[in-house]
Amino acid sequence: MSEALIDINSIQHGYAQIGGVRLHYAQHGSGERLVVLLHGFPECWYSWRHQLVALGQHYTVVAPDMRGYNLSDKPPRVEDYTLDRLADDVTGLIRHLGRKEAAVVGHDWGAGVAWAVASKHPEYVWRLAALQVPPLAVWLKNMTFKQALRSWYMLF
């Protein structure tokens, strides 16, 4: 899909105050079911612009800037970026939008967060799609030195 086929102005933007952090999100569609798209490193909501528009034809779709990225708050402490906190951000966003559950889709770092949401809060996940990152236990079990060098940012 080319940029010319996307009406970028049809994507709405909002903010949610979750766990003391102000999170920006992009939203498209008004379907009954919710889809949450989680970006990778070092990306932001914009990397999902094509999927927002396409999936928005059938679902309500949101793509947040996760904490520390783009238009969302950037807490100063490292401990503010644990997978538990990021998973809580996602469930907080689901509640902020007045929903009880969502299909959670993550790419790269966002896939790690998606797995954390499904593990910590399975009641919020009706579908899970994780692109490029397996569950943490599987990933660590099969980690090679070469892969660790390529995935340094995931090992904090």
Q: Kindly state the average pLDDT of the residues 88-112.
A: 98
Over the stretch 126-144, which tens digit does the pLDDT of each residue have? 999 999 886 777 667 767 8
73's enclosing H/E stretch is: none
pLDDT of residue 147: 74
Task: Give the orientation angle of helix 109-120 with respect to helix 83-96, to 10 degrees.
Answer: 80
Judge contact between 130 and 108, C-beta under 8 A. no
Question: What pTM, to 2 d.p., does this model score?
Answer: 0.87
Separation of alpha carbons 148 and 29, rounded Å: 38
Domain boundaries, the chain: 3-155
pLDDT of residue 156: 58
CATH for 3-155 is: 3.40.50.1820
Can you tell me which residue has the tokens 């949610």?
A: 16
pLDDT, mean over the chain: 92
